[in-house]
């Protein structure tokens, strides 16, 4: 077992609404449990959750300063002023910039955009970029996307150079807001507001909606792409926008998106399968991110905004090539990082992992940090050192028990720049300060965490014996989609099941396919990146923690299980449900 197994508290709906709630949940007790586990505890909430037509969309002007920003943009258009949209190089930034470009090009041709180079400029506004935008581009109005909230110095310089600045961002707020003419950030709203968790593209969309009205709906395919790629919580307004956006994506008129869907194998007319959150997260987003990580994300903006088919085909091909290169670099970096962990990290004592190496590519260390967290369940920062430029850049990923930005703040005296949110961060540091930073960061984290709260936990929605699985139930489960952060794929624990088939799969034999039998039913089950030391034998009786999925192949649909964890039947005691937040499945390692 990799995880401690925890069954979520089995909540109950009020008797007054129980029949109506069950009817809305397609008459399924399992669907009712899943809704309750996600805080959907009334018929009204359930209707809005399952069917977007029952959701009441929030007005754009509820975001502070949004009307002020809209009015300044309209003024710039009327005065024929030059507008430049500046955005981050990840998918959220690229889709944010694309949303505003498509919107503003309907009213003016005095519009340009600027995406900083990840390797030479780093994240956010920078002094040289501001000078370029003012000088070469002759800009009067600068709009930031997915960045800017902490760029006080750069915004002051822009104003000194004669530019007004509108900040649209969603990252954590500084103590003092920048002195822009408008600052749009949903974090200025209360934490329970339906717009609080909008990502950058959500803020850009709301601004576009204020300008365009209902015709802004045509941008929702980009919104879905940016939200899912940025791991925005799929709750409240975010969920609604992604639900609507996936429908738009399936029928998108944007040539660049059509080509991306085609190369990812999820163009509806070619395989009959509508694009999903998984297609975006594992197919489209990595290809867009690849150019931002390795070369120039300007290509991605051009792809998403072009009306030229030949240009779209050419850029999509370039994205595919760079994504394959990115995969190779990631695998090499991961192997090196795992080796360094074994050599330099005391896994019995250290509560975090910080590694630095000169040969690492700054563009991929965030991905690799995520893989290290998955493997060791410890907060991780990887730092790529560039001695020629006398700078090092790091990316961090955390676990639920640690706010990684809080840990950075505690060690910020050593850093040139830093930012992020609870689960992920970025930083830059002078190479000579790395050792002192590592010392202070580790000390803080080691005091903050202990062995008990470091335990890896997997939360389970409910028991669901494999013999109760059928296509109808799984299709109902998938009506809870889109799945992602804040609405994770449902996870169940099985009854006893027998292994009747075992096969190693994958290019490097890194995955495992089992055939499981439960009473008279048989299911294929996959274990991704399985532990080669784990032993399976034909005839073994095991219990699994799993997610059921629909597998589309050659025009047929079948059930396929994705195994999250497993243990031999004799290692697990009877499940006990307690009146606490969770119930615990007691098991031996």
pLDDT at 302: 98
pLDDT-derived band at 569, boundaries 50, 70, 90? low
Name 443's Cβ contacts closer than 8 Å, sequence gap at least 6.
none
Radius of gyration (Cα) for the chain, nearest Å?
A: 25
What are 532-553's pLDDT values in tens digits? 888 899 999 999 999 999 988 7
Q: In what helix (H) or strand (E) does residue 463 lie, and over which residues does it extend?
A: strand 462-463
Q: What is the DSSP letter of 572?
A: B
Measured in degrees and rounded to the nearest 5, phi and psi for residue 532 equal: -65, -15
Question: What proportion of the chain, given as a percentage, has pLDDT over 70?
Answer: 95
Coil, strand or helix: which one is 524? Answer: strand
CATH of domain 4-13+458-584: 2.40.50.460
Burial degree of 380 (CB within 10 A; 0-12, 13-18, 19+): buried
pLDDT at 575: 46
Question: What proportion of the chain, given as a percentage, has pLDDT over 90?
Answer: 77
pLDDT at 583: 35
DSSP, residue by residue, 66-118:
HHHHHHHHHHHHHTT--EEEEE-SSHHHHHHHHHHHHHHTTT-S-EEEE---T
What is the rounded average pLDDT of the residues 559-578? 70
Name 467's Cβ contacts closer than 8 Å, sequence gap at least 6.
495, 518, 519, 520, 521
CATH topology of domain 345-454: Diaminopimelate Epimerase; Chain A, domain 1 (3.10.310)
CATH of domain 60-320: 3.90.1640.30
Evaluate the CA torsion angle 168, 487, 45, 421 in order and state its sign: negative
What are 348-380's pLDDT values in tens digits? 899 999 999 998 998 899 999 999 999 999 999
pLDDT-derived band at 574, boundaries 50, 70, 90? very low
pLDDT at 112: 96
pLDDT at residue 117 above 60? yes
pLDDT-derived band at 554, boundaries 50, 70, 90? confident
pLDDT at residue 19 above 80? yes
What are 273-325's pLDDT values in tens digits? 688 999 999 999 999 999 988 889 999 999 999 999 999 999 999 999 999 99
pLDDT at residue 589 above 50? no
Residue 125 backbone zone (phi > 0: left; psi -120 to 50: alpha; other: beta): beta
What is the rounded average pLDDT of the residues 526-530? 91
Q: Find the range with the poorest average confidence among 271-275, 391-395, 570-574.
A: 570-574
What are 131-190's pLDDT values in tens digits? 999 987 789 999 999 999 999 999 999 999 999 999 999 998 989 999 999 999 999 999
Q: Are strands 541-553 and 556-568 parallel, antiparallel or unpaired?
A: antiparallel
pLDDT-derived band at 104, boundaries 50, 70, 90? very high
pLDDT at 585: 37
Q: Find the range with the poorest average confidence among 17-31, 264-278, 489-503.
A: 264-278
What are 484-511's pLDDT values in tens digits? 989 999 999 998 899 999 999 988 888 9
Distance CA 322, CA 304 (A): 17
pLDDT-derived band at 452, boundaries 50, 70, 90? low
DSSP, residue by residue, 515-572:
EEEETTEEEEEEETT--TT----TT-EEEEEEEEEEEEETTEEEEEEEEEEEEEGGGB
What is the rounded average pLDDT of the residues 120-139? 89
Domain boundaries, the chain: 4-13+458-584, 60-320, 345-454
What are 202-247's pLDDT values in tens digits? 999 999 999 999 999 999 999 999 999 998 999 999 999 999 999 9
Burial degree of 411 (CB within 10 A; 0-12, 13-18, 19+): buried
pLDDT at 272: 54
pLDDT at 553: 79
Name 109's Cβ contacts closer than 8 Å, sequence gap at least 6.
none
Q: In what helix (H) or strand (E) does residue 122 lie, and over which residues does it extend?
A: none
What is the rounded average pLDDT of the residues 513-526? 94
């Amino acid at each position: 077992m990799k995880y401690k197994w925890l069954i979520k508290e089995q909540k109950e709906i009020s008797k007054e609404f129980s029949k109506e709630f069950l009817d809305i949940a397609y008459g399924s007790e399992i669907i009712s449990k899943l809704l309750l586990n996600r805080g959907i505890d009334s018929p009204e909430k359930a209707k809005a959750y399952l069917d977007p037509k029952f959701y009441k969309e929030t007005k754009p002007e509820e975001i502070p300063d949004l009307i002020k920003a809209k009015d300044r943009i309209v003024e710039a258009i009327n005065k024929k002023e030059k507008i430049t949209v500046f955005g981050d190089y990840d998918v959220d930034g690229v889709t944010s910039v694309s949303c505003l470009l498509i919107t503003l090009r309907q009213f003016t041709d005095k519009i340009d955009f600027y995406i900083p180079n990840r390797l030479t400029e780093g994240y956010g506004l920078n002094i040289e970029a501001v000078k370029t935008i003012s000088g070469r581009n002759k800009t009067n109005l600068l709009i930031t996307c997915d960045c800017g909230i902490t760029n006080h110095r750069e915004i002051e310089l822009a104003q000194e150079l004669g530019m007004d600045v509108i900040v649209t961002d969603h990252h954590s707020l500084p103590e003092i807001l920048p002195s822009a003419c408008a600052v749009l950030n949903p974090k200025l709203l209360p934490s329970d507001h339906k717009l609080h968790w909008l990502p950058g593209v959500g803020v850009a969309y709301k601004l576009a909606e204020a300008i365009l009205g209902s015709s802004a709906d045509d941008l929702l395919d980009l919104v879905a792409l940016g939200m899912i790629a940025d791991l925005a919580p799929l709750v409240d307004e975010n969920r609604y926008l992604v639900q609507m956006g996936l429908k738009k994506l399936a029928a998108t008129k944007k040539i660049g998106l059509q080509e991306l869907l085609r190369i990812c194998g999820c163009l509806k007319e070619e395989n009959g399968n509508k694009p999903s959150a998984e297609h975006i997260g594992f197919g489209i987003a990595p290809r867009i991110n690849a150019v931002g990580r390795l070369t120039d994300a300007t290509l991605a903006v051009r792809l998403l905004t072009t009306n030229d088919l030949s240009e779209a085909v050419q850029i999509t091909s370039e994205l595919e090539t760079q994504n394959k290169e990115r995969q190779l670099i990631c695998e090499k970096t991961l192997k090196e990082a795992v080796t360094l962990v074994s050599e330099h990290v005391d896994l019995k004592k250290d509560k975090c992992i910080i590694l630095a190496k000169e040969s690492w590519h700054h563009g991929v260390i965030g991905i690799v940090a995520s893989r290290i967290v998955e493997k060791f369940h410890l907060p991780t920062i990887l730092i790529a050192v560039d001695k020629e430029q006398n700078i090092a850049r790091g990316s961090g990923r955390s676990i639920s028990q640690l706010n990684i930005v809080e840990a950075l703040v505690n060690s910020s005296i050593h850093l040139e720049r830093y930012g992020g949110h609870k689960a992920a961060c970025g930083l830059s540091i002078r190479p000579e300060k790395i050792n002192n930073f590592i010392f202070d960061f580790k000390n803080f984290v080691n005091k903050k965490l202990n062995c008990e709260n470091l335990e890896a936990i997997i939360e389970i929605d409910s028991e669901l014996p494999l013999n109760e699985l059928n296509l109808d139930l799984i299709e109902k489960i998938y009506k809870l989609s889109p799945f992602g952060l804040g609405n994770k794929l449902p996870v169940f624990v099985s009854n006893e099941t027998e292994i009747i088939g075992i096969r190693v799969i994958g290019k490097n034999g890194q995955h495992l396919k089992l055939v499981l039998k439960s009473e008279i039913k048989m299911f294929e089950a996959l274990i991704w990146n399985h532990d080669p030391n784990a032993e399976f034998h034909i005839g073994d009786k095991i219990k699994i923690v799993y997610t059921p999925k629909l597998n589309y192949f050659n025009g047929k649909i079948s059930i396929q299980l994705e195994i999250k964890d497993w243990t031999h039947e004799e290692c697990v005691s009877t499940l006990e449900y307690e009146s606490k937040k969770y119930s615990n499945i007691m098991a031996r390692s």
